[in-house]
Every structure is written in structure tokens, then in C-alpha cells.
């Protein structure tokens, strides 16, 4: 128990320092992306969405806006490459995961970790509540095993007429399996390797 507590504290210290350094070093990129978003379509720069975090606590997740205004109210919580709600610059941001960068703020705040199960919207969490009771024993993260495996999720959903059914019945159960695998095997070394693979767009 004490070992786990020490590991969790060290993970939080690393998350705080790494996210703070990332926000400082990437601030010019944040400014550039923000300007491009403002010039390319009407609406704000940052998009927020309620997600379910550790212990089923709700929090606001931050992203660079990649959709047209009011897009969440006009469709599903999931997207595919043919989603008309996505702006032209949004496709680029999503392809290279640049829209996820503001989640460094969530990590700094303590809502999230750099590495951990990706946070879901409440609708999908409640469908698999028993599984998420275990998964949400730790902070959700920006990246993890499932993020690496399904980094092209938008493309996987492209050919399916009922994208949400595909997501709920096939993709999300696989993500939960990988979430549990991370829970049972995570360490500082594994976290570093996941971060490295995420940055390079490689498999684990």
C-alpha cells in the first residue's frame, strides 16, 4: 500500500512538472494554433466538454476547437473522418493530435495525468459502469495503450452507418480491456515509453 502511495505521489509530481514545462515550451505553438483557428472559422479557440474522471468525478476537458460552433449539439459524442462538423483546420489538428494539447492544463490542475485511461463522456461510462469502477480508480490520462492502438479511430468508424453502435459494441470494450491491462502493469518506465510512442506516432 505504501509503495503504491509513493508511486502515485511521484507520478503526480512528474505530471505537474512535465505539464508545466510543456505549457511553457509549447506556448508559441499554442498561440499559432489559436490564431489559425480564429481566422479559419467563427467561434472560440478552446472547446470544453464534460468528462468523467477519477472516482466518477466530473471535470471539464480542454481541447483546441476542431469543429464548427454548436457542433456537439448536432451529432454524436464520437466522430469519424467524414463528420461534416469538423472544420478544415480541425481535420489537421485531429490527425496529428494537436487538438489534445490544451489537456496539459487538465494535467497541471490534477484532473488528468499524462498517461492513463482516456476519459469518456458520462453516457458511455454509464453503459460500462462496472468496468469503469475499476478503471476510474486512477486519474484519466492524455494517452495510454488504447490511445496508441486506436489513434486512427476516426478512420476506423468511417465506413459504418451506425458509428455509435460500432463504438459501443466493439471499440469501447477493447479500450476497457487495454485500460485494465495498464492498471495492472503501469510503472514510470512504461509511462515514459507510452509518452515516447505517442509523440512519435508509433505502436507500443
Q: Higher model confidence: residue 142 or residue 84?
A: 142
Weakest-pLDDT range from 26-30, 56-60, 124-128, 187-191: 187-191
Number of H helices, E strands in the chain: 11, 4
Weakest-pLDDT range from 74-83, 173-182, 183-192: 74-83
**In this structure, are residues 86 and 67 in contact, taking their beta carbons and an 8 Å threshold?**
yes
**Could you give the residue ranges of the DSSP H alpha helices within 26-111?**
27-40, 88-95, 103-109
- State whether residue 112 is helix, strand or coil: coil
Number of domains present in the structure of the chain? 1
| Alpha-carbon distances of 163 from 51, 95, 173, 179, rounded to whole Å | 20, 19, 15, 22
Average pLDDT (76-94) is 84
Average pLDDT (122-133) is 96
Res. 2: pLDDT tops 50: no
pLDDT, position 89 = 94
Average pLDDT (16-29) is 97
| Alpha-carbon distances of 146 from 68, 153, 193, 194, rounded to whole Å | 27, 10, 14, 10
* Whole-prediction pTM: 0.91
pLDDT, position 75 = 66
Parent domain of 134:
2-200
pLDDT, position 178 = 96
For residue 185, with 0-12 CB atoms within 10 Å meaning exposed, 13-18 middle and 19 or more buried, which class applies?
exposed
Q: What percent of the chain has pLDDT over 90?
A: 69
Average pLDDT (81-97) is 88
Amino acid at each position: 500500500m505504501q509503495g503504491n502511495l509513493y508511486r502515485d505521489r511521484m507520478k503526480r509530481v512528474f505530471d505537474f512538472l512535465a505539464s508545466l514545462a510543456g505549457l511553457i515550451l509549447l506556448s508559441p505553438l499554442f498561440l499559432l494554433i489559436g490564431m489559425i483557428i480564429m481566422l479559419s472559422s467563427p467561434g472560440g479557440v478552446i472547446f470544453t466538454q464534460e468528462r468523467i474522471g477519477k472516482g466518477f468525478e466530473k471535470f471539464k476537458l480542454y481541447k483546441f476547437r476542431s469543429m464548427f460552433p454548436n457542433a456537439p449539439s448536432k451529432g454524436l459524442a464520437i466522430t469519424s473522418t467524414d463528420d461534416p462538423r469538423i472544420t478544415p483546420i480541425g481535420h489537421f489538428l485531429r490527425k496529428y493530435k494537436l487538438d489534445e494539447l490544451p489537456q496539459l492544463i487538465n494535467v497541471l490542475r490534477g484532473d488528468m495525468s499524462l498517461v492513463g485511461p482516456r476519459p469518456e463522456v458520462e453516457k458511455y461510462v454509464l453503459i460500462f459502469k462496472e468496468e469503469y469502477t475499476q478503471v476510474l480508480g486512477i486519474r484519466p490520462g492524455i494517452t495510454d495503450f488504447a490511445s496508441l492502438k486506436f489513434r486512427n479511430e476516426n478512420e476506423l468508424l468511417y465506413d459504418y452507418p451506425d458509428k455509435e453502435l460500432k463504438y459501443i459494441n466493439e471499440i469501447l470494450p477493447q479500450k476497457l480491456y487495454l485500460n485494465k491491462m495498464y492498471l495492472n502493469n503501469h510503472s514510470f518506465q512504461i509511462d515514459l515509453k507510452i509518452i515516447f510512442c505517442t509523440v512519435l506516432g508509433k505502436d507500443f
